[in-house]
């Protein structure tokens, strides 16, 4: 059995690291402070892992090919900016598919925990939707940070009911402030 010795930050993509929380990934652009946040996370010893729900694929509104081309472009952009990201994984399913990988379910996290020997108790989930990222962190045993970019303000206010039984460990203005707040 592998000793779980790594710690990770499981990042949401859209609305958290850039772009529109519910927009088309083809229009996604990183926020100006995202590279610095990801670099700081690495410097603090965290593996950067991006997990994204992409139900547009399952709904037939986005092809897997278009998604993969966009992710390849994002990976090139991260590499050009000297940012290390271990994985960018997506759930392509709709709610009706009842999969185990659509956030707030932990299927994609579990895959990474096993692959990289991650100690989940020393890891974080950072995202802009409490009903997805905060709830997923709670179910997995990780800490959670809700950021106020993207859908974060709405998630904290008019959509708070969707995750009323859960609390974020920390609330940050954006991902850079989130990473600055952790050890």
Q: Per the annotation, where are the binding residues for Mg(2+)?
A: 12, 128
Distance CA 54, CA 22 (A): 9
Distance CA 121, CA 95 (A): 28
Contacting residues for 174 by C-beta, under 8 A, at least 6 apart:
31, 33, 37, 147, 148, 149
Query: Are 14 and 25 in contact, with CB atoms under 8 Å apart?
Result: yes
Distance CA 88, CA 12 (A): 10
Give the residue among 82, 101, 81 at the shortest CA–CA distance from 91.
101
Which tokens belong to 160?
């708070």
Distance CA 41, CA 61 (A): 33
Binding residues for Zn(2+), as ranges, are: 91, 93, 99, 101
3-state secondary structure at position 128: coil
Give the residue among 165, 154, 142, 132 at the shortest CA–CA distance from 53.
132
């Amino acid at each position: 059995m592998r000793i779980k010795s790594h710690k990770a930050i499981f990042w949401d993509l859209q609305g958290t690291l850039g772009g529109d929380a519910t927009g088309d990934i083809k229009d996604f652009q990183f926020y100006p402070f995202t590279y610095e946040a990801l670099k700081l996370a690495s410097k603090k010893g965290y593996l950067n892992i991006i997990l994204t729900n992409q139900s547009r694929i399952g709904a037939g509104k986005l092809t897997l090919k278009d998604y993969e081309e966009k992710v390849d472009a994002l990976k090139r952009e991260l590499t050009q900016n000297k940012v290390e990201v271990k994985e960018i994984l997506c759930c392509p399913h709709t709610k009706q598919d009842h999969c185990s990988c659509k956030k707030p379910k932990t299927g994609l996290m579990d895959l990474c925990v096993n692959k990289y020997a991650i100690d989940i108790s020393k890891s974080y989930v950072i995202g802009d939707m409490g009903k997805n990222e905060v709830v997923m962190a709670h179910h997995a045993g990780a800490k959670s940070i809700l950021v106020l970019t993207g859908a974060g303000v709405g998630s904290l206010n008019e959509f708070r009911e969707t995750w009323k039984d859960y609390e974020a460990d920390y609330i940050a203005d954006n991902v850079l402030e989130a990473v600055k707040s952790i050890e």
